[in-house]
Amino acid sequence: MSEARPDTLRLTMRVHGYVQGVGFRYFVRREASALGLRGFVRNLDDDGVEVVAEGNRTRLEQLVPIVERGPSAAEVERVEVIWSAGTGAFSAFQVRH
């Protein structure tokens, strides 16, 4: 675990809708990695998806509309967004199972 930089924030999103079984996690990993973000994406027991990303505010803000749109097969109904201080807990962006 590395220490978070002072400008590092954490963005946690809970995504609701038709978002499992449509490549959503791999879509988010690709997009978040392209933005240089670190964290993870995983399926939730309630058929939603959780995204936890750390990085600078500008890049995190760019991720929000990408997640709201999702891949073409997904139907995103709602995204809950929570901002907090970054922890530096991640070295890459991963899909968790």
Output the average pLDDT for the chain: 95
Looking at the DSSP bridge assignments, the partners of residue 55 are 9
Given a contact cutoff of 8 angstroms between Cβ atoms, the answer to whether 24 and 49 are in contact is yes
Q: Is the pLDDT of residue 12 over 60?
A: yes
Q: Is the pLDDT of residue 1 over 80?
A: no
pLDDT value of residue 7: 82
pLDDT value of residue 34: 98
Return the active site residues: 25, 43
In order of their start, the domains of the chain are 9-96 (3.30.70.100)
| Residues in CB range of 21: below 8 A, 6 or more apart | none
Lay out the sheet containing 93-96: strands in order across. 75-85, 9-18, 49-55, 38-43, 93-96
pLDDT value of residue 2: 56
Q: Is the pLDDT of residue 3 over 90?
A: no
